[in-house]
Amino acid sequence: MIAHRLCYLATFLLGSAFAGGPLSPAERELVESISANTLRGHLSFLASDLLEGRDTPSRGLDLAAEYIASQFRRAGLEPGGDQGTYFQNAPYLKITQPMEGFRVRLETPDGKSWESAGPKVMAITNAAVNVASLEVVKVTLQDKDSPLPSAELVRGKAVVLYMGRGVSSRALIEMKPALLLTYAVVPPTPYRLRPASAPAPPSAPFLLTADTEFRKLFDALPNGLTPAKLTANIAAPVEEPIQLRNVIGKLPGSDPILRNEAILLTAHYDHVGVSPRGDGDRIHNGANDDASGVSTVLALAESIGARKLRPKRTLVFMTYFGEEKGLLGSRYYAAHPTVPLRQTVANLNFEHMGRTDDSEGKREGQITATGFDYTTLGEALTAAGAATGIGTWSHPRNSDDFFARSDNQALADAGVPAITVSVAWIFPDYHRPSDHWEKIDLPNMEKVVRTAAVTVSRIANNETAPQWVESHPKVKRYVEAARKLHTAD
């Protein structure tokens, strides 16, 4: 690995020098091979009702994965997944809570009580819970500076809890209460997902309810040790093994040295599925979020894959499962990379590439990225935009705030310069069933995907690899991760 380390040092000394300037004849051919119709074809299938919102896990998600793999085959990519396939299998557990015999009851000596047999309570537990007439401690944590009760008071008792926004329950859990019962919005997902290789995180049984009757009784209790008693019967959770899949195709680089470095081009192919309740359309088609990013990756694979002269660096085209469930697919890949991360010099992740009706105003003829000035990738995008007639912009707040909100974060945490490229941050149908492919601005999307193609082509051919901008105050941890990645044995 010495050669690579030297190369890394050299890029530090040279700084960034992205080839700018107008399009070369080869780049012109490349951009002309990307058409709105290609994008429309991919979008209209991936965002069709048949795929039922591509929830993780679901049959619709599997259909999308098979489609993406077939497009990688068509583009002539090499399989980049497990055992000569396009699929990287991620063993997961789908954890559901049986509700038979479920009962939780809170009562006070003066005859007030609250009881639930299920639907209004979500239980997160690693094992069965059977407790009767437990002592109850009330804790209110308005914000992260709210004082905690003592560990002796909490240990072995039931804690009824109110937590303000952004407050963590970790410190309380470490005090080993018998269980926690909190007033909170119950997430709509009736199951949890956990990598099969990860042990269950140590935790106290955690019950959430948004029942206002519970809130009334909670409000009537004094802080600290209360006269109330709690009884609960909860069955052990059921763990079902499932396979989730990242879809990966590779285009080997043409340069004998630079081909050992890879650029990841990614998007998430999952979305949030079907609303369990409601009138009318309940299918969240996720056209802009993120069939548009997947269509971008597919169009790039097809167009770059068809060039006679392949780029010097290796390109890895990848679509992830489980972004909407908390960056699951990209976290899995970063922990199990199929191309070593120290040979991975950049990640361009694509999200929201289709809609120009940003909630803050029209975004035609423009492209942006999260962490726009964290890496030299922002400059590369700007230079390619200048050559293709697309402007770049950086949102004063969102560019930084959205950095952690997509799959680039998993790679950035590992030290790889990684950004998410987008046209609009928030748009009117964001995470609604009405995110339909007919609303995509296809002429604009054709232009910005062409800009992306030129960006990719240039960073794949440039002698200098993309880098973190070390002087930026927000990238310290990523620069540190990059150093670790490149100096580890």
Using alpha carbons only, what angle is made at residue 57 by residues 190 and 42, rounded to the nearest 5 degrees?
130
Of the two residues 93 and 264, which places its CB atom closer to Zn ion in the complex? 264
Residue appearing with tokens 């490229």: 421
**Which residue, 55 or 351, is less far from Zn ion as judged by CB?**
351
Please say which residue, 112 or 431, places its beta carbon nearer to Zn ion.
431
Residues pairing with 129 in the sheet: 234
Instruction: Give 328 or 469: the residue with its C-beta nearer to Zn ion.
Output: 328
Q: Which is nearer to Zn ion, 351 or 435 (CB)?
A: 351
Q: How many residues does the chain have?
A: 489
Q: Provide, rounded to whole angstroms, the least separation between the CB of residue 383 and Zn ion.
A: 26
Smallest separation, CB 293 to Zn ion (Å): 7
> Does residue 195 have a cis peptide bond before it, meaning omega lies within 30 degrees of 0?
no
3-state secondary structure of 152: helix
Reported as half-sphere exposure (CB side, CA atoms, 13 A), residue 2 has a value of 0
3-state secondary structure of 338: coil
Exposure of 310 in the CB half-sphere (CA atoms within 13 A)? 20
3-class DSSP state for residue 26? helix
Span from 3-11, 94-102, 344-352, 437-445 in contact with Zn ion (CB under 5 A): 344-352
Select 351 or 441, whichever has its Cβ closest to Zn ion: 351
Identity at 275, one-letter amino acid code: S
The residues, ordered by sequence, that sit 6+ positions from 167 with a Cβ below 8 Å of its Cβ are 141, 142, 143, 144, 146
Task: Kindly tell me which of 55 and 290 has the beta carbon lying closer to Zn ion.
Answer: 290
Choose the stretch contacting Zn ion; rule: CB under 5 A; options: 240-248, 349-357, 390-398, 449-457. Answer: 349-357
Shortest reach from residue 212's CB to Zn ion, in Å: 33
Closest CB 431 distance from Zn ion, rounded Å? 9
When asked if residue 270 is in the footprint of Zn ion (CB under 5 A), the reply is no
Q: Residue 225 to residues 133, 137, 169, 240: CA-CA distances in angstroms?
A: 14, 4, 18, 39
Contacts (Cβ under 8 Å, ≥6 apart) of 280: 433
Q: Which of residues 454-473 bind Zn ion (CB under 5 A)?
A: none
How many residues belong to the site for Zn ion (CB under 5 A)? 3
Please state the closest distance from residue 411 (CB atom) to Zn ion, in A. Answer: 16
Using rule CB under 5 A, residue 358 touches Zn ion: no
CB of 270 to Zn ion, least distance (A): 9
- Mask of contacts with Zn ion, 81-100, x by CB under 5 A? --------------------
Site for Zn ion contains 52 (CB under 5 A): no
Please identify, using beta-carbon distances, which residue of 311 and 329 lies nearer to Zn ion: 329
Burial of 344 (0-12, 13-18, 19+ CB in 10 A): buried
Q: Which is nearer to Zn ion, 285 or 376 (CB)?
A: 285
Distance between CA atoms of 124 and 132, rounded to whole angstroms? 19
We find the least distance from the C-beta atom of residue 482 to Zn ion, in angstroms, to be 25
| Shortest reach from residue 189's CB to Zn ion, in Å | 17
CA angle 66, 67, 71 (to 5 degrees): 115
The piece of 55-63, 347-355, 410-418, 436-444 that touches Zn ion (CB under 5 A) is 347-355
Name the minimum Å distance from CB 106 to Zn ion.
39
Answer yes or no whether residue 429 interacts with Zn ion by CB under 5 A: no
Residue 407 in contact with Zn ion, rule: CB under 5 A: no
| Smallest distance, Zn ion to C-beta of residue 53, A | 13
Smallest CA-to-CA distance from 123 within 197, 234, 228 is with 234
> Residue 302, interface with Zn ion (CB under 5 A)?
no
Coil, strand or helix at 110: coil
Site mask for Zn ion (CB under 5 A), range 278-297, x = bound:
-----------xx-------
Sign of the alpha-carbon torsion through 349, 351, 354, 355: negative
Nearest CB to Zn ion, comparing residues 265 and 465: 265
Cα atoms found within 13 Å of the Cα of residue 112, Cβ hemisphere only: 12
**At closest approach, how far in Å is the CB of 271 from Zn ion?**
8
- Quickly count: other Cβ atoms within 10 Å of residue 155's Cβ: 12
* 14: number of Cβ within 10 Å: 11
Establish if 446 lies at the interface with Zn ion (CB under 5 A): no
Q: Rank residues 288 and 451 by Cβ distance to Zn ion and give the closer one.
A: 288
* Residues near Zn ion (CB under 5 A): 289-290, 351
